[in-house]
């Protein structure tokens, strides 16, 4: 059995600090939608690949987690804020719906595998915690009392949703894996 040494590196994908052709694999997992210039990032990944190397990229569908998105927007309206689509700022830049087109502009071979999946919730705590991580991106004042009230609202409403779904809330979350050369 052959053992492989795997090392990780955290840095700016738009300026990878390694020479040309030095890697068999480059991984970009659920991060390209955060990159300012995706074509430059893909060019950098391609540059550091060996001639028979591969890039593995993962992303979600822009339609993923529609239930949580709806719950978040109901919370915002309940507290006097406007609905928002955080996905407009992030996910739309690189998602299942546009990944093939973006990747084929950079790589001669792109293989896509889409996994139809879902997050399953049996209690409200993970839902409230997840939406709570978005408060700073939602133009909600940095007010601990307000945040606590919003988390409590989320817990109560999420519990109601879980009960209405027979004890398990299933929120679709499709993910794709791309192998590029």
What tens digit of pLDDT does each residue of 82-99 get?
887 655 455 578 999 999
Q: What is the mean pLDDT of residues 132-149?
A: 91
- For the chain, domain boundaries: 23-180
Q: What is the mean pLDDT of residues 107-112?
A: 97
Other C-beta atoms lying within 10 Å of the C-beta of residue 97? 14
Q: How confident is the model at residue 7 (pLDDT cuts 50, 70, 90)?
A: confident
Which pLDDT does position 95 carry in this prediction?
Answer: 94
Which pLDDT does position 121 carry in this prediction?
Answer: 97
Task: Determine if the pTM surpasses 0.85.
Answer: no
Picking from 175, 15, 43, the residue whose alpha carbon sits closest to that of residue 102 is: 43
Q: How far apart are CA 60 and CA 65, in angstroms?
A: 10
Which pLDDT does position 68 carry in this prediction?
Answer: 94
Residue whose token pair is 């006097």? 80
74: Cα within 13 Å, side-chain hemisphere: 14
What's the CATH class of domain 23-180?
A: alpha beta
């Amino acid at each position: 059995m052959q053992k492989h040494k795997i090392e990780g590196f955290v840095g700016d994908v738009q300026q990878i600090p390694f020479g040309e052709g030095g890697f068999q694999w480059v991984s970009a997992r659920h991060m390209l939608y955060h990159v300012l210039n995706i074509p430059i990032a893909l060019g950098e990944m391609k540059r550091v690949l060996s001639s028979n190397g591969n890039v593995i990229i993962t992303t979600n569908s822009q339609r993923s987690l529609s239930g949580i998105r709806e719950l978040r927007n109901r919370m915002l309206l309940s507290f006097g804020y406007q609905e928002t689509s955080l996905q407009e700022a992030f996910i739309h830049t690189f998602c299942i719906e546009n990944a093939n087109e973006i990747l084929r502009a950079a790589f001669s071979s792109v293989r896509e595998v889409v996994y139809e999946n879902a997050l399953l919730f049996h209690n409200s705590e993970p839902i409230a915690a997840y939406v709570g991580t978005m408060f700073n991106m939602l133009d909600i004042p940095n007010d601990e009392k307000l945040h606590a009230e919003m988390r409590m609202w989320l817990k109560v409403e999420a519990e109601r949703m879980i009960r209405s779904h027979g004890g398990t809330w299933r929120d679709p979350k499709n993910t794709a894996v791309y192998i590029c050369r």
